Chains A and B, each alone.
Chain A
């Protein structure tokens, strides 16, 4: 099983993401430069956090024109698992692989803290290892995490169970306190919190204030489980 971590100029959480695969899951992982045009041979694509293209224009707006994104779109369309974390989530919405947009935090500040997140849908490619309504502690670090979609889109996300992670309390002004969503098939998931930063105690931020609990492992366990047992089901709603 082989994972790809896409590398754009300005991506800076790529090593944490790669370590989650190689050190934690013990699977093979490669960094894929954004100029590449193929994802042949990969089983899972990870879009890491950072500031691709300096967040010029809008967060994630320029990255979507990178040559690799056409391959990511095809990869997603084939039903294979794609995860976007933080800037990766922003890129997925800009690309149109996930609905809505991520706008400036309501606080107008860059928010760097550990927050409580509820698992709303545990039937996606990246959430089967959790139980429904499980409460997670996950670090966030973003300025543009305020999820926005129009009312019709929000209603359809809720009705189709596409809200995967929800902040327990209001964090950044996101509509319906949305922290992470999936596409209709459940194989593409994007979230603002960083699960890869809650795997090892030594890498867990704010360890003095928040008790480390390895809550991020489930995201990676889920995809590893699904990929080793069976192909990702086309519809995986509860």
Chain B
């Protein structure tokens, strides 16, 4: 029995308690409460916590198998309990949308269920009102550490979306949108945290359109517990050994992540490493200063490459772009690179 230390932190749906062990882990109890509309609507569903814990554990395991680092360590002793690595959470809700529903329809007047290609990633600040927030504001408010961290979060969200889309597809489920939260571990790595439960997903049956998530509670569409239980059974019935997805194909169940080829643009920037003489930078810098721009401290003239890629998934395109950047376009002895991959959508569209 892991001994529990410190005072628990209670959220709307989870109770977090630091574990008194050396691994810097915590125990997460999934509560039976359901809330909607910023907690204006509330109810208790005995057994919901255990279902959310099980579904989260299943989806975290799927992501881990596909190379995504998550907070998930193990199932706890109680059915409604999971063990996590403790993270310093970034106070953002990262929403990934594959089809327009909910606030997107209300706010922007998009057509209900209009496919979003490429998927839309939105950020909301975790405050009582959850307002949408821009990159500039995130930086200004110190919510994130750097632009690079935002980019990393965006790329991870795309990767996670690729994997989850493929998995739900194999279960006959349409994944409309979902919410993620990230945190940093002790070594400063960006890790997926929070939970992966139907509280945070919009899921629809592919053929009947039946609602399989918290919208059942939000919109009074039926029995929440029965819906969650049916969803868990459906996900768990998918190959017992969850599929490992890599390079666009699943090795176990044989389905493809995305059947259509997608277009991507990789913007790769190569700069000389700090301390290495770059005469071009030096000349430009000196001349800018010579012209009276005393505020300019230094200039680093790099090289920018725009690489157009057609691939089956964001993951595949990203991996290829990374090899091109690291092994061809830059020389690791003297240069560093940054990579930004943008999905442009269906090649045939």
B-binding residues in A (CB < 8 A): 57-58, 61, 65, 93-94, 100-101, 103-106, 108, 146, 148-150, 173
Contacts and interface: CB of A to CB of B under 8 A. Distances in A.
Given A108-B282, A108-B283, A148-B334, A103 B276 contact: yes
Given A108-B279, A108-B282, A148-B276, A103 B329 contact: no
Contacts of A57: 328-329
B333 A61 contact: no
Nearest to A153: B333
Given A103-B276, A103-B334, A104-B277, 14 more contacts: A57-B328, A57-B329, A58-B331, A61-B328, A101-B331, A101-B333, A104-B278, A104-B279, A108-B283, A148-B276, A148-B334, A149-B333, A150-B333, A173-B277
Interface string B328-339: 110101100000
Most buried by A among B329, B331, B333: B333
A148 B329 contact: no
A57 B330 CA distance: 8
Contacts of B282: 108
- Lowest 9 CB-CB distances: which A-B pairs, in order? A108-B279, A101-B333, A101-B334, A104-B279, A101-B331, A58-B331, A103-B334, A148-B334, A106-B277
A184 B224 CA distance: 69
A205 to B, nearest CB: 25
Contact of A61 (B276, B278, B331): B331
Contacts of B279: 104-105, 108
A66 B277 CA distance: 28
Contacts of B283: 108
Contacts of B334: 101, 103, 148
Interface size class of B (residues with CB under 8 A): 10 to 19
Contacts of A93: 333
Contacts of B276: 103, 148
B169 to A, nearest CB: 38
Contacts of B277: 103-104, 106, 146, 173
A62 B19 CA distance: 54
Interface in B306-349: 328-329, 331, 333-334
24 contacts: A57-B328, A58-B331, A61-B328, A61-B331, A65-B328, A93-B333, A94-B331, A100-B333, A101-B331, A101-B333, A101-B334, A103-B276, A103-B277, A103-B334, A104-B277, A105-B279, A106-B277, A108-B279, A108-B283, A148-B276, A148-B333, A148-B334, A150-B333, A173-B277
A65 B272 CA distance: 22
Contacts of A150: 333
Nearest to A61: B331
A58 B328 CA distance: 10
Nearest to B305: A57
A105 to B, nearest CB: 8
Contacts of A58: 331
A57 B333 CA distance: 14
A237 to B, nearest CB: 24
Interface in B269-302: 272, 276-279, 282-283
Contacts of A101: 331, 333-334
Nearest to B283: A108
Interface in B40-88: none
Nearest to B332: A101
A148 B276 CA distance: 8
A61 B333 CA distance: 13
A147 to B, nearest CB: 11
Most buried by B among A105, A148, A173: A148
Most buried by A among B277, B282, B283: B277
A93 B328 CA distance: 14
Nearest to B272: A103
B35 to A, nearest CB: 55
Interface in B148-187: none
Contacts of B329: 57
Contacts of A100: 333
Interface in B100-116: none
Contacts of B278: 104
